[in-house]
Amino acid sequence: MASPKSAAFSVSAVRYLPRDPVIAVKILFASSEAAPLIKTGGLADVAGSLPRTLHDQGDDVRLVLPAYPGVLKQVSSATLVAELQVPAHGGPVRVLTAQAKVLPLPLYLIEAPGLFDRPGNPYVGEDGNDYPDNAQRFAAFCHAIVALALGQADSWRPDVVHCNDWQTGLVPALLSKEWQRPATVFTIHNLAYQGQFDRATFDALQLPADLWSPDGLEFYGQFAFIKGGVAFADMINTVSPTYAAEICRPELGYGLDGLLRYRSDRLVGILNGIDNQVWDPAGDSHLPAHYDGTDLTGKTKCKAALQTRLGLPNAPNSVLFGHIGRLVPQKGVDLIIDILPTLMAQPGTQLVVLGSGDANLEAALRTATREYPDRVAAHIGYDEGLAHLMEAGSDVFLMPSRFEPCGLNQMYSLRYGTVPVVHKTGGLADTVVDASSRALLDGSATGFVFDHPDSDGLWWAVDRALELRRRPSVWWEKLVRSCMRQDNGWHVSAERYRELYRFALDNPAAAPIPEIHKKP
């Protein structure tokens, strides 16, 4: 990989983007999931709330999603606008427009018989494995997005196509071959998921042959959808400034750090926002009682309701720790299991966990609930309502992620006055201020931050939280109120994205020069 180019602005320097009055741009927002229509993780939260915020603020933004059955059930007036033939897919690919009460902005849905009409998780079959034809499925999705981007499927033609994660990664690569194309922005929500497939799949997809190159999609003998975004988009961003810097280093670059350093003049970090309407302790429909920073009585009722719901004894004075997330090594739930004996040795501690994923981690959690039936409860599965109740009812939220591009749960915790304990990485480092004595005194503290993602590091932070709980309650209440004052709503970051769109429009990237042309 070539050495880094001189940087027009650094990876964390989104503040240097031009702040001219923003001209209205038309944005096509492309994602494989968007809450509340279809959700497996944080990407859905962002794809549901960022375009809606832009739309509510007057931008001409449309969202394109695959037409999964669960999505079709929630929309009205789905109308066929185009029937496309895309490479390597036998049947037609249909572009529908639709409206959804739960996600009020213009929607395009991509229907492709045999590809998206499967219930349940959008990427994984009932056997728990990735669908074997995911490359075909999301290549077809990308071709449909390209058709929309070029105005070939509908009369509306966007100025910017905003792609998200590997499922839309081919779009910037395919559009780079067009003379008259919209600007492209590619957001990396998690670099660990790359959409890697083999050479035979590349051939079967009938992608342009020159994309099989180290400067194109080729990736250590395979090819990766995500490289289409990283190598070809006009602008690339990740979901926090710290993660933008971290992925430029080998430890978290997953083999793409060289390319990201090379493109660092086009890489920025923009912190995700949260949907302040959906996640609002003062009006959350999933909660039995409401509260805000001026009156926390409702939080105590939520704690009791959470204990009852998960079969724990009502113990108003316990220190109730919570964790929600995909049970994968990234999230560090194994560290929580490691410190459990020490945590349970402290009087009055309880732990509740909500998540699903790795079978060994699920089994370890079930064992813990049997070992400490009155102190530990785990709900293995996915439950949106319970997630809200846990954010409200817990006292402390554990987020020991080994890496975390942005993380949403720590921001939900802040809003719900549930003090986060986080590893200093990615968006966790950018959103939580450690409760040092000075920060506690000046009111800037919002949680407990530890440096080393191991059980000692986690315990060090948890122990400090317990120590603060033992002090007169005014200290803890002061911390809770500081958490609740932090505003992580989308309004700030939506403005950063507008700047990013403008910058991408004004600064089209030249396609990387294929190796063959570089030789004398």
Chain residues that interact with ligand ADP, rule: CB under 6 A: 41-42, 45, 190, 324-326, 354-356, 382-384, 387, 406-409
Q: How far apart are the first and last CA of the chain?
A: 18
Structure tokens at 148: 């929309």
Instruction: Please report how close the Cβ of residue 42 comes to ligand ADP at its closest, in angstroms.
Output: 2
Residue 298: phi and psi, rounded to 5, are -60, -30
Nearer to ligand ADP, 42 or 182 (CB): 42
Structure tokens at 471: 């002090």
Distance (Å, rounded) from C-alpha 67 to C-alpha 517? 41
Q: Are 98 and 107 a contacting pair, CB within 8 Å?
A: yes
Q: Are 169 and 228 a contacting pair, CB within 8 Å?
A: yes
Chain residue whose CB lies nearest ligand ADP: 42
Instruction: Please report how close the Cβ of residue 87 comes to ligand ADP at its closest, in angstroms.
Output: 31
Instruction: Please report how close the Cβ of residue 324 comes to ligand ADP at its closest, in angstroms.
Output: 5
Nearer to ligand ADP, 373 or 381 (CB): 381
Whose tokens are 């037609």? That residue is 92
Q: Name, in order, each residue with C-beta under 8 angstroms of 245's C-beta and a sequence gap of 6 or more.
A: 11, 12, 269
Nearer to ligand ADP, 310 or 387 (CB): 387
3-state secondary structure of 145: helix
Nearer to ligand ADP, 41 or 489 (CB): 41
Instruction: Please report how close the Cβ of residue 244 comes to ligand ADP at its closest, in angstroms.
Output: 16
Instruction: Please report how close the Cβ of residue 305 comes to ligand ADP at its closest, in angstroms.
Output: 17
Distance (Å, rounded) from C-alpha 81 to C-alpha 87? 19
- HSE at residue 33, side-chain half, CA atoms within 13 A, is 19
Give the DSSP per-residue string, 219-251: ETTEEEHHHHHHHH-SEEEESSHHHHHHTTSHH
Nearer to ligand ADP, 295 or 384 (CB): 384
Instruction: Please report how close the Cβ of residue 243 comes to ligand ADP at its closest, in angstroms.
Output: 11
Nearer to ligand ADP, 186 or 202 (CB): 186
Distance (Å, rounded) from C-alpha 393 to C-alpha 388? 9
- Closest alpha carbon to 410 in 400, 397, 401, 423: 397
Instruction: Please report how close the Cβ of residue 329 comes to ligand ADP at its closest, in angstroms.
Output: 12
Nearer to ligand ADP, 144 or 327 (CB): 327
Instruction: Please report how close the Cβ of residue 412 comes to ligand ADP at its closest, in angstroms.
Output: 7
Q: Are 27 and 162 a contacting pair, CB within 8 Å?
A: yes
Nearer to ligand ADP, 228 or 322 (CB): 322
Distance (Å, rounded) from C-alpha 149 to C-alpha 281? 39
